[in-house]
């Protein structure tokens, strides 16, 4: 069961990241693709699967936020990824601010991945 959920989680991460990058570049180009219904719905479905698989993994490995430091740090990094993603896709008013949001989001996602792989907190040890 663990391997199935882990692979579902990793697949959801890859799809979520690919959609984020695609939407960012469409935003940069002013593409009408951003107005398509599937572009507005699919990322939320994927992110719901991502969250559900993350919660399931926490239960399966008995590691929880605010109990285990590395999980807490990963959750904080994911929240910062979401915030920076909002800056990149919606809140950023200038191209420079949107690019800062994009790079910041990718950076926080890489940080979350590193914490998840090593299962060691990097900021709050």
Per-residue tens of pLDDT for the chain, all 125 residues: 999 999 999 999 999 999 999 999 999 999 999 999 999 999 999 999 999 999 999 999 999 999 999 999 999 999 999 999 999 999 999 999 999 999 999 999 999 999 999 999 988 76
Phi and psi, residue 62, nearest 5°: 55, 45
95-118 and 69-86 helices, crossing angle to 10°: 160
- In this structure, are 47 and 93 located in the same domain? no
Contacts 24+ apart (CB under 8 A), 22-25: 23/89, 24/88, 24/89, 24/98, 24/102
Domain boundary among 62, 85, 114: 62
- In this structure, are 57 and 78 located in the same domain? no
Domain count, the chain: 2
| Structural domain span for residue 82 | 65-125
- In this structure, are 15 and 56 located in the same domain? yes
């Amino acid at each position: 069961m663990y391997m199935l959920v882990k692979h579902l989680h990793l697949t959801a991460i890859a799809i979520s990241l690919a959609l984020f990058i695609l939407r960012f570049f469409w935003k940069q180009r002013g593409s009408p693709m951003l107005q398509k219904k599937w572009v507005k719905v699919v990322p939320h479905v994927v992110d719901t699967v991502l969250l559900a698989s993350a919660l399931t993994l926490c239960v399966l490995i008995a590691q929880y936020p605010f109990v285990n430091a590395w999980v807490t740090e990963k959750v904080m990094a994911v929240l910062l990824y979401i915030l920076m993603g909002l800056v990149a896709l919606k809140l950023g008013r200038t191209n420079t601010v949107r690019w800062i949001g994009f790079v910041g989001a990718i950076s926080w996602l890489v940080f979350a991945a590193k914490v998840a792989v090593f299962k060691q907190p990097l900021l709050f040890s």
